[in-house]
Structure 1
């Protein structure tokens, strides 16, 4: 009789089987085997929220195989993922297979390597019911919110809508930001920007008007700027003060789930879902040439910055061998996790720090390689020495006024030899200044006033939304990606380039939720619920009491909303477009039908004109001159095609630009990737140029 090990995925099963050998049989449960029923609430709210769990439809053969194999196995180990969800899956498997909950049959692997698997198998424990109850409480909370509010939305707005405990707050955050943008009133301001050089030096440097000896002067309009420009006509520019200093910059900590999703969005353009898919594959194991199946990163759902001493030592050795001792910090660097972090796992790191991305590149898919490289570089850099800069700040007197110039030069590159973190709002830092000393005369080469306007807060991107959710305590590492996927799929939010903006539907639903289910879309209330779930996991509070605390007030809120909206139905305003109805001249609006969105004339029933909804790109077909439209393939991949299809067969994966070709006047296209370029698609032209780097 062999030992049975049950994991969640076939990839993980294959990797673990290699390390355990023939005395073990490793099978995959393919995720959950039991869940609440799809067709009804499945929770007895009258009797302490007793859940009704059913075998998941379509998994009958798999469950039968698991039971048959378990019956002939000498010992059964439950090795699902090391988090709440994984603990719950193990508990369901235990219930289904009739195992004793007190038996030590639960094993966890922080990394799928030989040492990681052996360590996990050497330390079996019993199922942690606090973890299970925290997952049950979350699942039941989400089921109650979804199954109680969604039918209400169907009756009061339209069928097919849904509400969610975390998704509703995420949509509200995006809607509130849009309201801020709409209310924002830009204010004019001016800067005076100079270019100058030191005598004996040809290279120019920039300086910006600051004010006078009394302090900073703000310029609100052209008149104020011109008045000072007039006074500066014949001014001499002399260095009045120079401040030199040394600045040390520390590396960013290794990744946790949220920062990985943010950085992958900024640096790789990955959506959160794409990031987590590649990370899951790297964790579960990939076939590496010469090594076989091996997990390349530690568990990717974590909020802890802890690093094992074994990994720290391996990384330190790699840094010493590759760059030398001077690239190691004077003292080992430790990172402090957030106060709310569960600290159940390490930070996300490579399982073998000396396995550089180049060594495994040929064994990985494009996404796997890019993400592994990002994780590996971030981790190694986090344990390297600080970067050191020489900084210079100079005050420049110009008559009664002062200009300021700043610059920096690298004294020691430190960790930046390998990696630097991206930011949503990166500020450009000045380069090197010439050697400036007090009383040095300067030669003015250019001085002009520049008009500016204050900008509204930016729309959220996936990266900045995840950051906001984390900072506000909404959701947990495992929920960020599915939350964003859900609000996009429900069409409460849509993409505008990288930005996320609310749809008319999202705006209407959020306002209805604010009016009638204030707590559900309240950031503080939702964050408090997350804290309660963490306390359930820690064994500090009872999960049933937590559900009662929520539901008793929620039930009254739902009854009140039903009374207040009795006989009322909310109309979703039509979204007007720039497309003009060729039959009557009205601007067409976007409607939603059985087969999705379409254009319709608002003059219905007098005018019944409808059209397909198309997205213009601003580009024109190089073959027939018609508009090039954004389309989607059968697999959902965006591409660009001629509006005259099928009469015209032009299509491309490359983005059309509004810019026209300087040679033939036709639309230019942008090709992305390694061989990025801007080119003319007119075969008789041949114009192309390199893409300018930002």
Structure 2
């Protein structure tokens, strides 16, 4: 019998850890949470200090029974669930259900390597009541909002919708950006670019510069005519170099990944969704089978908001850089990065667990997407510990009696960390700023020959829609959610059809906009960005032990319960009123409205039930409603054997069949086979 039992939440994690521990240990997995609030009721005793009414999750009883049996035969039980609030709750509930608090120990594993696991077992800690209370407070908060507001949406819009304390704020951010775009008024503007050559230089390759001033005023050109007038006045001017500013500059590497930056970069560079990134990162953390080496965790814990790096990782990475790239690429001191003000700093940055396993070395053991994400983590971390890029930046100003032009060029002198890695950009941020541009050698007062003037038309652009990665960045900057919740927030607003992905951008649907407006009207505080960010801060303080979790819930519910009472009457019914569609009924002429049913949105006459006209629809490329006309079924050459009307050929998910054209008056149907119905 094993003397010690290690309990983790994932079978994959259990398999990896089992590989490192001897016969004195057994390792079992809970397969996630075993205990939770009930699904079929609120499960919170509001009058009794918000006491949660926990129960064993229905399909997890077999796992609990297995753990009970294993724990009875163990002298010590090590609770090794993930080192975050959810992991703490899993550990807490297991200890409580198994009745093993007197022989249980909490171990925090930030990387699944032999060294880290043995160190954690040799220095166990106790369960953190404060961390558990923070998870419990968040769980109860989310249940109070979700289970009491969602039924309002079912009643007033359609069943299956949900509201959430954080997801609804994320939806609000997406909707408000869309409305900024809708209100944006595009303005025309023009730019003028000149091509110049140094006089008497023999150089035949002109360089370009942009017009920045005309008649000593900053250039703001609103029309083609204005641009043409300026060109006519400056095309025959004499030009000279008025200033040359040359500086050596450096650009430092970005910090190693935290959860949000990993999600953003995987979206930009690998086109991964946030959900996919976290699923693959979880596998890399829990362990990958590496042939003769066995299973091994390849990256540190992937839910973190800290850029902190262990001394050992710094030492190992510096040795790797020196051996692989040489002294020029290794800074004198390790690069340390500042942890953000609101970061919990409970875990290290996301980094490789060992520098013995480069991506190329273990590529054969990784699936394609696993390899790409591991390579991204590997390269980003190495780059964070390498020397800066060094480049010369030259800014040249050119003048005549009426005009001033400016151009800037940069030439890389030393590639530094870019030998390994360059950060990606959002598609709407691709502006070419980092491109090298070589300028000729010029000196102050040197004469220049103007070879060409080009006018170009532009239009101001609205702010871009959020992508998944830029929404994560926005949530992080506003203090909404935490590393463990970004993925579920973004998945939920898409799963509920509040937001859809269109060309990799998030666009709110009519349903999303309507639900957003209803929730803001009914629950203004709950949908307030600052209120939600402050609540995240308070949850952090519960974990730190400076706020009592029950007091936090009481303060919240005081406001929320009042809004809940008012919302039943105050919130409008979209189930009844719908949303104006901007088109008229083709049967009675009344306005059509958008409503929602089991199969999604549809057009309905606003005069219903007097007029029962209803039609499916979709949207054209410009977002305008396009009615989908019902396809008339094909007429067959046989008649119904019940009413005599012609039979038509219809299509179901099981295939084609004959149906009476008199439906719904006559519901006769026949299977299509070799014999026609008589």
* TM norm. shorter chain > 0.5: yes
Q: Measure how far apart 1:58 and its partner are.
A: 1.2
Contact in 1 for aligned 2:264/2:470 (Cα 8 Å): yes
Residue in 1 aligned with 2:423?
Answer: 421
Q: Note closer, same or farther for the CA distance 1:328–1:566 as it changes in structure 2 (3 Å cut).
A: closer
SS of structure 1 residue aligned to 2:194: strand
Structure 1, 521-530 or 322-331: larger mean CA deviation: 322-331
> 316, 331, 334: which one pairs with 1:332?
334
Q: Note closer, same or farther for the CA distance 1:615–1:457 as it changes in structure 2 (3 Å cut).
A: closer
Residue in 2 aligned with 1:543?
Answer: 549
Matched, 1:445 2:451: yes
SS of structure 1 residue aligned to 2:515: helix
Residue in 2 aligned with 1:688?
Answer: none
Distance 2:598 2:564 in 1: 29
Contact in 2 for aligned 1:80/1:89 (Cα 8 Å): yes
Distance 1:409 1:458 in 2: 31
SS of structure 2 residue aligned to 1:488: helix
Matched, 1:33 2:34: yes
| Superposition map of 1:17-28 within 5 A | 17-28=18-29
Distance 1:585 1:21 in 2: 79
Question: What RMSD over aligned residues (CA atoms) do the two structures have, in Å?
Answer: 2.7
Q: Note closer, same or farther for the CA distance 1:489–1:548 as it changes in structure 2 (3 Å cut).
A: same
SS of structure 2 residue aligned to 1:317: helix
Q: Note closer, same or farther for the CA distance 1:328–1:146 as it changes in structure 2 (3 Å cut).
A: same
Distance 2:114 2:551 in 1: 42
Q: Note closer, same or farther for the CA distance 1:433–1:589 as it changes in structure 2 (3 Å cut).
A: farther
Distance 1:413 1:54 in 2: 58
Q: Measure how far apart 1:190 and its partner are.
A: 1.3
Matched, 1:487 2:493: yes
> 522, 525, 530: which one pairs with 1:519?
525
Q: Note closer, same or farther for the CA distance 1:607–1:544 as it changes in structure 2 (3 Å cut).
A: closer
TM-score, with structure 2 as normaliser: 0.86
Residue in 2 aligned with 1:9?
Answer: 10
Residue in 1 aligned with 2:671?
Answer: none
SS of structure 2 residue aligned to 1:119: helix
Distance 2:493 2:8 in 1: 30
Matched, 1:288 2:294: no
Distance 1:17 1:122 in 2: 16
Q: Measure how far apart 1:562 and its partner are.
A: 2.5
| Superposition map of 1:197-236 within 5 A | 197-198=197-198, 199-212=201-214, 214-236=216-238
Distance 1:275 1:530 in 2: 24
Residue in 1 aligned with 2:662?
Answer: none
Q: Measure how far apart 1:207 and its partner are.
A: 0.8
Q: Measure how far apart 1:462 and its partner are.
A: 0.7
Distance 1:493 1:601 in 2: 25
Distance 1:410 1:540 in 2: 51
Q: Measure how far apart 1:288 and its partner are.
A: 1.4
Residue in 1 aligned with 2:380?
Answer: 378
Contact in 1 for aligned 2:304/2:483 (Cα 8 Å): yes
Residue in 2 aligned with 1:671?
Answer: none
Residue in 1 aligned with 2:442?
Answer: 436
| Superposition map of 1:629-668 within 5 A | none
Distance 2:576 2:203 in 1: 70
Distance 2:574 2:615 in 1: 29
Q: Measure how far apart 1:458 and its partner are.
A: 0.8
| Structure 2: tracts of 5 or more residues without a match | 623-650, 654-678
Q: Measure how far apart 1:565 and its partner are.
A: 4.6
Matched, 1:593 2:594: no
SS of structure 2 residue aligned to 1:359: coil
> 242, 245, 256: which one pairs with 2:244?
242
Distance 2:234 2:588 in 1: 60
Q: Measure how far apart 1:212 and its partner are.
A: 4.4
Larger Rg: 2
Residue in 1 aligned with 2:255?
Answer: 253
Q: What CA deviation, in whole Å up to 9, does each residue of 1:524-574 have, x standing for no partner?
A: 000110011000000111111111010122111111222435989663326
Q: Measure how far apart 1:599 and its partner are.
A: 7.4
Q: Measure how far apart 1:197 and its partner are.
A: 3.5
Figure out how many residues of one structure are paired with residues of the other and give that number: 617
Distance 2:269 2:388 in 1: 22
Q: Measure how far apart 1:119 and its partner are.
A: 1.1
| Structure 1: tracts of 5 or more residues without a match | 618-643, 647-694
Contact in 2 for aligned 1:508/1:572 (Cα 8 Å): no
Contact in 1 for aligned 2:604/2:612 (Cα 8 Å): no
Distance 2:422 2:580 in 1: 46
Q: Note closer, same or farther for the CA distance 1:237–1:131 as it changes in structure 2 (3 Å cut).
A: same
Matched, 1:319 2:290: no
